[in-house]
Amino acid sequence: MKLAFAVTLTTVLVTAQGVSAQTLYGSQYMGPSSPAILYLISPATGASTPVGPIGEATVSAIAFAPDGVTLYGNGAIGNKFSLVKINTSNGASTKIGDTGIGIPFQDMSFRPSDGTLFAYGGGYIFTVNLTTGVAAPVGYTGKFPLGNALAFSAGGTLYNANEKTLDIINQSDGSVTSSIPLDYTAFGPLGSSRANAMKFHPNGTLYASIATGFPAIATTLGTINTTTGVVTPIGLMVLGVDGLAIGTSSSLGTTPVPSSWMLAAIGMMIALLYGFIRRRRSSALHAHSRQYYR
């Protein structure tokens, strides 16, 4: 019985180590003079729970590094736009450095193969230095419509979405290599629906923040079908969500998972304890037998 318990406990702990919850975050801002706020977003309903103020205005782009833990953002500090790190426990940010361009990023995303940060700003594609924050131009997409969400798929395809099309971007020169129409029919006749942020979930779902109306009168969490272009609403988020990021775990209320060495130590302790109990039981039985037959 005790052996079965020990084996079960060790199996549960090992299994738990391989499981990582996916958490959806959004950054909200209501204009260049308003402080941005970090939110936790329910992927099932769009319900938005505030985490805390980010500390910059115009945080219209956020993205997790490939580790799924380090959250980066782009915001206005004074009259300059900077790359920042964002604490997912309280929303507070730490400045890395100025991007060197006088416009915000509409969205940004990490290339999964090598961890290069790509950003969309003013119709241009940039790469961003994670040490200095400086943005280097890759090239012009050929257009600057409304929305302009940006996301890498797990396979390394770079997508850009706006109020009309879902485009695939050439990562060498920023040009559009292919395009399909986006269908916002499900968002009603309010007009000007557009994807202003998007990120791929590891399961392949492309989540997007959809602003409707101009200026926006609603911000909805939705999904984009990369084959058909159909955009499907999930539920309303807090108005003004303009950045979206998916991490591997939440620092809010998440129980830390034991590390490999700790699991090994626990397993060894269980084995030793079980062996000790067996030896004690065996000694006791032998002593009882000797006493009984004396």
What is the token pair recorded at 37? 């706020």
pLDDT digits (tens, 9 = 90+) for 126-135: 999 999 999 9
CA distance 228 to 95: 39
Amino acid letter, 112: P
Q: Where are the alpha helices (DSSP H) in 171-242?
A: none
Cα angle 70-71-74, degrees, rounded to a multiple of 5: 140
- pLDDT of 9 reads 39
- DSSP state, residue 202: T
DSSP per-residue letters across 156-193: S-EEEE-SSEEEEEPTTT--EEEEEE-B-GGG-TT---
CB 245 within 8 A of CB 63: yes
The pLDDT tens digits for 104-126 are 999 999 999 999 999 999 999 99
- Where does the pLDDT of residue 223 fall: very low under 50, low under 70, confident under 90, or very high at 90 and above? very high
* Predicted TM-score (pTM) of this structure: 0.79
Query: Residue 246 — very low, low, confident or very high, per pLDDT cuts 50/70/90?
Result: very high
Cβ atoms of 56 and 76 within 8 Å: the answer is yes
* CATH fold for the domain made of 20-247: Neuraminidase (2.120.10)
- 52-70, pLDDT tens digit by residue? 999 888 999 999 999 999 9
pLDDT digits (tens, 9 = 90+) for 7-43: 343 433 333 333 347 899 999 987 777 789 999 999 9
Domain ranges of the chain: 2-13+259-292, 20-247
Which is it for strands 80-86 and 71-77: parallel, antiparallel or unpaired? Answer: antiparallel
